Amino acid sequence: MKYRTLGNTGLRVSEIAFGSEWYVERPYEDVEEIVRHCEENGINFLDCWMSEPTVRTNLGKAIKDTRDKWIIQGHIGPIWQNNQYVRTREIDKVKEAFEDFMERFQIDVLDFGMIHYVDTFEDYDEIMSGEFIQYVRDLKEKGIIKHIGLSTHNTNIAFLAAKNPEIELLMFSINPAYDMFPPTSDLEDYRDDDEYVGLAGLDPKRAELYQLCEENGTPITVMKGYASGRLFDENDSPFGVALTPVQCIHYALEQKGVSSIFVGVSNTQELDAALEYENASESEKEYRDILSSAPNHSFEGKCMYCGHCSPCSSGIDIGGLIKLYDLAVVHEEVPQSVREHYNNLTYDAAECIACGECEDRCPFNVKIVDIMLDAQDLFNLVKY
Protein backbone atom coordinates (compact mmCIF):
# COMPACT_ATOMS: atom_id res chain seq x y z
CA MET A 1 0.00 0.00 0.00
CA LYS A 2 1.23 3.48 -0.86
CA TYR A 3 0.61 6.42 1.44
CA ARG A 4 0.13 10.12 0.81
CA THR A 5 0.29 13.15 3.08
CA LEU A 6 -2.99 14.95 3.69
CA GLY A 7 -2.05 18.51 2.78
CA ASN A 8 -0.79 20.58 5.67
CA THR A 9 -2.07 18.20 8.38
CA GLY A 10 1.00 15.98 8.17
CA LEU A 11 -1.15 12.86 8.41
CA ARG A 12 -0.16 9.95 6.16
CA VAL A 13 -3.07 7.97 4.74
CA SER A 14 -3.42 4.98 2.46
CA GLU A 15 -4.17 6.04 -1.11
CA ILE A 16 -7.00 3.50 -1.13
CA ALA A 17 -9.37 4.02 1.81
CA PHE A 18 -12.46 2.36 3.26
CA GLY A 19 -15.89 3.87 2.62
CA SER A 20 -18.28 2.13 4.99
CA GLU A 21 -21.74 3.06 3.71
CA TRP A 22 -22.61 -0.44 2.44
CA TYR A 23 -22.91 -2.00 5.89
CA VAL A 24 -26.45 -1.01 6.84
CA GLU A 25 -28.42 -3.98 8.20
CA ARG A 26 -25.33 -6.17 8.16
CA PRO A 27 -24.25 -8.32 11.13
CA TYR A 28 -21.23 -7.36 13.19
CA GLU A 29 -19.25 -10.31 11.81
CA ASP A 30 -19.37 -8.80 8.31
CA VAL A 31 -18.10 -5.46 9.57
CA GLU A 32 -15.29 -7.01 11.56
CA GLU A 33 -14.23 -9.10 8.56
CA ILE A 34 -13.91 -6.08 6.27
CA VAL A 35 -12.13 -3.98 8.91
CA ARG A 36 -9.57 -6.74 9.56
CA HIS A 37 -9.09 -7.16 5.80
CA CYS A 38 -8.42 -3.44 5.47
CA GLU A 39 -5.87 -3.53 8.27
CA GLU A 40 -4.11 -6.59 6.84
CA ASN A 41 -3.71 -4.78 3.51
CA GLY A 42 -2.44 -1.49 4.88
CA ILE A 43 -5.63 0.59 4.69
CA ASN A 44 -5.62 3.12 7.55
CA PHE A 45 -8.26 5.65 6.46
CA LEU A 46 -11.99 5.33 7.17
CA ASP A 47 -14.95 7.52 6.25
CA CYS A 48 -18.32 7.20 7.95
CA TRP A 49 -21.12 9.55 6.95
CA MET A 50 -23.84 6.99 7.58
CA SER A 51 -26.09 7.90 10.49
CA GLU A 52 -27.70 4.48 10.88
CA PRO A 53 -26.97 3.54 14.51
CA THR A 54 -25.97 -0.11 14.02
CA VAL A 55 -23.35 0.80 11.40
CA ARG A 56 -21.72 3.20 13.83
CA THR A 57 -21.88 0.72 16.70
CA ASN A 58 -20.40 -2.11 14.65
CA LEU A 59 -17.59 0.01 13.24
CA GLY A 60 -16.75 1.34 16.68
CA LYS A 61 -16.60 -2.16 18.11
CA ALA A 62 -14.47 -3.44 15.22
CA ILE A 63 -11.80 -0.74 15.52
CA LYS A 64 -11.83 -0.42 19.31
CA ASP A 65 -8.62 -2.38 19.86
CA THR A 66 -6.86 -0.98 16.76
CA ARG A 67 -7.97 2.67 16.99
CA ASP A 68 -4.37 3.90 16.83
CA LYS A 69 -4.06 2.38 13.34
CA TRP A 70 -6.94 4.38 11.90
CA ILE A 71 -7.46 7.94 10.66
CA ILE A 72 -11.19 8.66 10.67
CA GLN A 73 -13.44 11.06 8.79
CA GLY A 74 -16.74 11.49 10.65
CA HIS A 75 -19.54 13.68 9.32
CA ILE A 76 -21.36 16.46 11.12
CA GLY A 77 -24.88 16.99 9.81
CA PRO A 78 -26.35 13.54 9.00
CA ILE A 79 -28.95 12.22 11.44
CA TRP A 80 -31.12 9.10 11.73
CA GLN A 81 -34.77 10.12 11.74
CA ASN A 82 -37.88 7.95 11.28
CA ASN A 83 -35.62 5.03 10.45
CA GLN A 84 -33.82 6.78 7.60
CA TYR A 85 -30.85 9.04 6.87
CA VAL A 86 -31.57 12.79 6.87
CA ARG A 87 -29.23 15.73 6.38
CA THR A 88 -29.95 18.60 8.76
CA ARG A 89 -28.62 21.98 9.91
CA GLU A 90 -30.85 22.10 13.01
CA ILE A 91 -28.16 22.52 15.63
CA ASP A 92 -29.84 20.53 18.42
CA LYS A 93 -30.22 17.54 16.11
CA VAL A 94 -26.69 18.03 14.73
CA LYS A 95 -25.21 17.95 18.23
CA GLU A 96 -27.21 14.92 19.29
CA ALA A 97 -26.18 12.97 16.18
CA PHE A 98 -22.50 13.87 16.51
CA GLU A 99 -22.44 12.89 20.17
CA ASP A 100 -24.07 9.62 19.13
CA PHE A 101 -21.33 9.12 16.53
CA MET A 102 -18.56 9.58 19.09
CA GLU A 103 -20.27 7.33 21.63
CA ARG A 104 -20.95 4.51 19.20
CA PHE A 105 -17.43 4.73 17.75
CA GLN A 106 -16.12 4.64 21.34
CA ILE A 107 -13.69 7.49 20.70
CA ASP A 108 -12.90 10.76 22.45
CA VAL A 109 -11.10 12.42 19.53
CA LEU A 110 -12.00 12.42 15.82
CA ASP A 111 -9.35 13.14 13.19
CA PHE A 112 -11.63 14.97 10.73
CA GLY A 113 -14.99 16.50 11.52
CA MET A 114 -16.58 16.77 8.08
CA ILE A 115 -19.23 19.41 7.42
CA HIS A 116 -21.60 17.09 5.61
CA TYR A 117 -22.90 17.44 2.04
CA VAL A 118 -22.87 21.16 1.19
CA ASP A 119 -24.02 21.64 -2.41
CA THR A 120 -25.60 25.11 -2.58
CA PHE A 121 -24.40 28.66 -1.94
CA GLU A 122 -27.31 29.23 0.42
CA ASP A 123 -26.38 26.22 2.52
CA TYR A 124 -22.69 27.17 2.57
CA ASP A 125 -23.44 30.75 3.60
CA GLU A 126 -25.87 29.64 6.30
CA ILE A 127 -23.31 27.21 7.72
CA MET A 128 -20.40 29.63 7.63
CA SER A 129 -22.27 32.52 9.19
CA GLY A 130 -24.29 30.74 11.86
CA GLU A 131 -24.30 28.40 14.82
CA PHE A 132 -23.34 25.35 12.77
CA ILE A 133 -19.77 26.51 12.09
CA GLN A 134 -19.51 27.84 15.63
CA TYR A 135 -20.33 24.38 16.94
CA VAL A 136 -17.67 22.88 14.68
CA ARG A 137 -15.14 25.48 15.84
CA ASP A 138 -15.96 24.70 19.45
CA LEU A 139 -15.35 21.00 18.81
CA LYS A 140 -11.94 21.81 17.39
CA GLU A 141 -11.03 24.22 20.18
CA LYS A 142 -11.90 21.55 22.74
CA GLY A 143 -9.77 18.99 20.90
CA ILE A 144 -12.74 16.74 20.13
CA ILE A 145 -11.98 17.04 16.41
CA LYS A 146 -8.44 17.64 15.18
CA HIS A 147 -9.27 19.06 11.76
CA ILE A 148 -12.26 20.53 9.90
CA GLY A 149 -13.29 19.17 6.51
CA LEU A 150 -16.20 19.61 4.11
CA SER A 151 -17.90 17.32 1.59
CA THR A 152 -19.58 18.53 -1.59
CA HIS A 153 -20.49 17.46 -5.13
CA ASN A 154 -20.63 21.03 -6.47
CA THR A 155 -17.47 22.48 -8.02
CA ASN A 156 -18.43 26.03 -7.03
CA ILE A 157 -18.79 25.07 -3.36
CA ALA A 158 -15.54 23.11 -3.55
CA PHE A 159 -13.80 26.32 -4.67
CA LEU A 160 -15.17 28.20 -1.67
CA ALA A 161 -13.99 25.44 0.66
CA ALA A 162 -10.55 25.24 -0.97
CA LYS A 163 -10.08 28.98 -0.49
CA ASN A 164 -11.26 28.90 3.13
CA PRO A 165 -8.28 28.40 5.47
CA GLU A 166 -10.56 26.84 8.11
CA ILE A 167 -11.29 23.92 5.78
CA GLU A 168 -8.33 21.56 5.99
CA LEU A 169 -9.70 18.78 3.80
CA LEU A 170 -12.15 18.59 0.90
CA MET A 171 -14.18 15.49 0.09
CA PHE A 172 -15.30 15.67 -3.53
CA SER A 173 -16.89 13.36 -6.11
CA ILE A 174 -14.37 12.51 -8.85
CA ASN A 175 -14.62 10.06 -11.74
CA PRO A 176 -14.36 10.40 -15.55
CA ALA A 177 -18.14 10.87 -15.95
CA TYR A 178 -18.71 13.42 -13.20
CA ASP A 179 -15.58 15.29 -14.26
CA MET A 180 -17.29 16.26 -17.51
CA PHE A 181 -19.90 18.27 -15.60
CA PRO A 182 -19.84 22.02 -15.12
CA PRO A 183 -20.77 23.09 -11.57
CA THR A 184 -24.16 21.78 -10.45
CA SER A 185 -26.01 21.86 -7.14
CA ASP A 186 -28.22 18.90 -8.02
CA LEU A 187 -26.65 15.50 -7.38
CA GLU A 188 -29.34 13.88 -9.52
CA ASP A 189 -27.83 15.54 -12.60
CA TYR A 190 -24.95 13.07 -12.42
CA ARG A 191 -27.40 10.16 -12.56
CA ASP A 192 -29.48 11.46 -15.46
CA ASP A 193 -28.22 10.26 -18.84
CA ASP A 194 -29.92 13.18 -20.60
CA GLU A 195 -27.66 15.59 -18.66
CA TYR A 196 -24.58 14.10 -20.33
CA VAL A 197 -25.67 15.17 -23.82
CA GLY A 198 -23.12 17.58 -25.25
CA LEU A 199 -20.52 16.92 -22.56
CA ALA A 200 -17.03 15.68 -23.39
CA GLY A 201 -13.68 15.81 -21.65
CA LEU A 202 -12.63 17.20 -18.30
CA ASP A 203 -14.56 20.36 -17.40
CA PRO A 204 -11.93 23.13 -17.12
CA LYS A 205 -13.48 24.44 -13.90
CA ARG A 206 -12.78 21.10 -12.25
CA ALA A 207 -9.22 21.10 -13.58
CA GLU A 208 -8.79 24.56 -12.08
CA LEU A 209 -10.14 23.31 -8.73
CA TYR A 210 -7.71 20.40 -8.61
CA GLN A 211 -4.83 22.74 -9.44
CA LEU A 212 -5.89 25.15 -6.68
CA CYS A 213 -6.02 22.36 -4.11
CA GLU A 214 -2.58 21.18 -5.17
CA GLU A 215 -1.15 24.69 -4.84
CA ASN A 216 -2.69 25.70 -1.52
CA GLY A 217 -2.35 22.37 0.27
CA THR A 218 -6.06 21.55 0.58
CA PRO A 219 -6.07 17.76 0.18
CA ILE A 220 -8.91 16.07 -1.69
CA THR A 221 -10.38 12.76 -0.62
CA VAL A 222 -12.46 11.18 -3.36
CA MET A 223 -16.01 9.86 -3.12
CA LYS A 224 -18.13 8.40 -5.94
CA GLY A 225 -14.99 7.17 -7.70
CA TYR A 226 -16.98 4.38 -9.36
CA ALA A 227 -20.04 6.58 -10.09
CA SER A 228 -21.99 4.21 -7.82
CA GLY A 229 -20.81 1.27 -9.92
CA ARG A 230 -22.20 2.60 -13.21
CA LEU A 231 -18.76 2.74 -14.80
CA PHE A 232 -18.36 -1.03 -14.49
CA ASP A 233 -21.26 -1.77 -16.86
CA GLU A 234 -21.09 -0.70 -20.50
CA ASN A 235 -24.89 -0.66 -20.66
CA ASP A 236 -25.15 1.68 -17.67
CA SER A 237 -22.01 3.77 -18.15
CA PRO A 238 -22.51 7.23 -19.71
CA PHE A 239 -19.60 6.38 -22.00
CA GLY A 240 -21.08 3.17 -23.38
CA VAL A 241 -17.93 1.29 -22.34
CA ALA A 242 -16.93 -0.36 -19.08
CA LEU A 243 -14.00 0.57 -16.87
CA THR A 244 -12.42 -1.57 -14.15
CA PRO A 245 -12.02 -0.63 -10.49
CA VAL A 246 -8.28 -0.29 -11.11
CA GLN A 247 -8.85 2.18 -13.96
CA CYS A 248 -11.33 4.25 -11.93
CA ILE A 249 -8.95 4.40 -8.98
CA HIS A 250 -6.07 5.38 -11.23
CA TYR A 251 -8.11 8.16 -12.78
CA ALA A 252 -8.95 9.63 -9.39
CA LEU A 253 -5.46 9.34 -7.92
CA GLU A 254 -3.93 11.00 -10.99
CA GLN A 255 -5.85 14.24 -10.42
CA LYS A 256 -3.90 17.07 -8.83
CA GLY A 257 -4.59 17.62 -5.16
CA VAL A 258 -5.98 14.12 -4.56
CA SER A 259 -4.62 12.23 -1.56
CA SER A 260 -6.91 9.23 -1.25
CA ILE A 261 -9.98 7.55 -2.72
CA PHE A 262 -12.68 6.00 -0.55
CA VAL A 263 -13.93 2.83 -2.19
CA GLY A 264 -17.43 1.67 -1.32
CA VAL A 265 -17.30 -2.11 -0.93
CA SER A 266 -19.78 -4.59 0.49
CA ASN A 267 -17.39 -7.53 0.94
CA THR A 268 -13.73 -8.53 0.90
CA GLN A 269 -13.90 -9.63 -2.73
CA GLU A 270 -14.86 -6.13 -3.83
CA LEU A 271 -12.10 -4.69 -1.66
CA ASP A 272 -9.60 -7.08 -3.25
CA ALA A 273 -10.66 -5.81 -6.68
CA ALA A 274 -9.69 -2.32 -5.56
CA LEU A 275 -6.47 -3.47 -3.91
CA GLU A 276 -5.34 -4.94 -7.23
CA TYR A 277 -4.44 -1.36 -8.09
CA GLU A 278 -1.38 -1.52 -5.86
CA ASN A 279 0.27 -4.19 -8.03
CA ALA A 280 -1.35 -3.37 -11.37
CA SER A 281 0.73 -2.77 -14.48
CA GLU A 282 0.58 0.53 -16.34
CA SER A 283 -1.45 -1.12 -19.08
CA GLU A 284 -3.98 -2.39 -16.52
CA LYS A 285 -4.31 1.13 -15.10
CA GLU A 286 -4.65 2.81 -18.48
CA TYR A 287 -8.09 4.33 -19.08
CA ARG A 288 -7.26 6.91 -21.76
CA ASP A 289 -7.46 4.58 -24.75
CA ILE A 290 -10.92 3.46 -23.66
CA LEU A 291 -12.26 6.97 -23.10
CA SER A 292 -10.72 8.38 -26.26
CA SER A 293 -12.77 6.00 -28.41
CA ALA A 294 -15.88 5.55 -26.28
CA PRO A 295 -19.09 5.42 -28.37
CA ASN A 296 -20.81 7.94 -26.08
CA HIS A 297 -19.29 11.19 -24.84
CA SER A 298 -15.85 10.30 -26.17
CA PHE A 299 -12.87 12.24 -24.85
CA GLU A 300 -11.50 12.19 -28.40
CA GLY A 301 -10.14 15.62 -29.24
CA LYS A 302 -10.60 16.98 -25.70
CA CYS A 303 -7.58 17.92 -23.63
CA MET A 304 -7.42 16.15 -20.27
CA TYR A 305 -4.43 18.25 -19.12
CA CYS A 306 -2.66 14.96 -18.44
CA GLY A 307 0.80 16.12 -19.59
CA HIS A 308 1.45 13.25 -22.00
CA CYS A 309 2.08 15.82 -24.73
CA SER A 310 5.17 17.14 -22.93
CA PRO A 311 7.95 18.10 -23.26
CA CYS A 312 7.40 20.98 -25.66
CA SER A 313 10.45 21.93 -27.73
CA SER A 314 9.56 25.60 -27.15
CA GLY A 315 9.11 25.16 -23.39
CA ILE A 316 5.34 25.74 -23.38
CA ASP A 317 3.31 24.24 -20.54
CA ILE A 318 0.83 22.84 -23.05
CA GLY A 319 -1.73 21.41 -20.64
CA GLY A 320 -1.66 24.51 -18.46
CA LEU A 321 -2.08 26.83 -21.43
CA ILE A 322 -4.96 24.84 -22.91
CA LYS A 323 -6.65 24.85 -19.50
CA LEU A 324 -6.52 28.66 -19.49
CA TYR A 325 -7.86 28.73 -23.03
CA ASP A 326 -10.73 26.40 -22.09
CA LEU A 327 -11.55 28.56 -19.07
CA ALA A 328 -11.52 31.68 -21.24
CA VAL A 329 -13.69 30.54 -24.14
CA VAL A 330 -16.67 29.64 -21.94
CA HIS A 331 -17.06 33.35 -21.09
CA GLU A 332 -18.18 36.20 -23.31
CA GLU A 333 -15.11 38.11 -22.15
CA VAL A 334 -11.86 36.63 -20.87
CA PRO A 335 -11.95 36.77 -17.05
CA GLN A 336 -9.33 39.02 -15.50
CA SER A 337 -7.88 36.18 -13.41
CA VAL A 338 -7.45 33.96 -16.50
CA ARG A 339 -5.91 36.85 -18.42
CA GLU A 340 -3.38 37.46 -15.67
CA HIS A 341 -2.43 33.80 -15.49
CA TYR A 342 -1.91 33.72 -19.24
CA ASN A 343 0.19 36.89 -19.22
CA ASN A 344 2.36 35.39 -16.49
CA LEU A 345 3.20 32.28 -18.50
CA THR A 346 6.92 31.97 -19.20
CA TYR A 347 6.14 30.79 -22.73
CA ASP A 348 2.76 31.57 -24.29
CA ALA A 349 1.03 30.33 -27.43
CA ALA A 350 3.04 32.67 -29.64
CA GLU A 351 6.08 30.50 -28.94
CA CYS A 352 4.51 27.49 -30.68
CA ILE A 353 6.47 26.49 -33.80
CA ALA A 354 3.78 24.02 -34.96
CA CYS A 355 6.19 21.09 -34.98
CA GLY A 356 3.36 18.72 -34.05
CA GLU A 357 5.46 16.50 -31.77
CA CYS A 358 2.99 17.10 -28.92
CA GLU A 359 0.11 15.87 -31.08
CA ASP A 360 1.96 12.63 -31.79
CA ARG A 361 2.16 11.98 -28.04
CA CYS A 362 -1.42 12.98 -27.16
CA PRO A 363 -3.58 9.91 -26.32
CA PHE A 364 -6.75 11.90 -27.07
CA ASN A 365 -5.71 13.19 -30.50
CA VAL A 366 -6.15 16.81 -29.49
CA LYS A 367 -5.42 19.32 -32.27
CA ILE A 368 -2.91 21.16 -30.11
CA VAL A 369 -1.39 23.31 -32.85
CA ASP A 370 -4.84 24.63 -33.82
CA ILE A 371 -5.57 25.45 -30.19
CA MET A 372 -2.29 27.35 -29.93
CA LEU A 373 -3.28 29.46 -32.93
CA ASP A 374 -6.74 30.09 -31.48
CA ALA A 375 -5.18 30.99 -28.13
CA GLN A 376 -2.94 33.54 -29.80
CA ASP A 377 -5.95 35.16 -31.42
CA LEU A 378 -8.01 35.10 -28.23
CA PHE A 379 -5.44 36.36 -25.76
CA ASN A 380 -3.83 38.89 -28.10
CA LEU A 381 -7.15 40.71 -28.06
CA VAL A 382 -6.78 41.33 -24.38
CA LYS A 383 -3.04 41.12 -23.74
CA TYR A 384 -1.31 44.20 -22.38
Distance CA 272, CA 43 (A): 12
Residue 365 predicted with pLDDT over 70: yes
Per-residue model confidence as pLDDT tens digits over 300-333: 888 888 888 999 999 999 999 998 998 888 788 8
Distance CA 242, CA 229 (A): 10
| pLDDT value, residue 381 | 61
| pLDDT value, residue 134 | 98
In percent, the amount of the chain with pLDDT more than 90 equals 82
Residue 382 predicted with pLDDT over 50: no
For the chain, what percentages of helix, strand and coil (3-state, to nearest 5) are there? Answer: 45, 15, 40
- Which has the minimum average pLDDT: 40-44, 263-267, 281-285, 302-306? 302-306
Distance CA 119, CA 189 (A): 12
Residue 348 banded pLDDT, cuts 50, 70, 90: very high
| pLDDT value, residue 11 | 97
Per-residue model confidence as pLDDT tens digits over 50-63: 999 999 999 999 99
In percent, the amount of the chain with pLDDT more than 70 equals 99
| pLDDT value, residue 356 | 94
| pLDDT value, residue 161 | 98
Q: 248 with 265: CB under 8 angstroms?
A: no
pTM: 0.89
Region 71-94 average pLDDT: 96
- Which has the minimum average pLDDT: 169-173, 194-198, 250-254, 373-377? 194-198
Handedness of CA 126, 128, 130, 136 (dihedral sign): positive
Per-residue model confidence as pLDDT tens digits over 130-143: 999 999 999 999 99
Region 225-235 average pLDDT: 94
Residue 152 CA from chain centroid, whole number: 9
Region 118-125 average pLDDT: 98
Residue 299 banded pLDDT, cuts 50, 70, 90: confident
Distance CA 384, CA 381 (A): 9
Give which of 195, 168, 169, 160 is closest to 180, Cα–Cα. 195
Average pLDDT of the chain to the nearest whole number: 94
Residue 198 banded pLDDT, cuts 50, 70, 90: confident
DSSP codes, 5-35:
E-GGG--EEESEEEE-GGGTT--HHHHHHHH
| pLDDT value, residue 313 | 93
Distance CA 241, CA 246 (A): 15
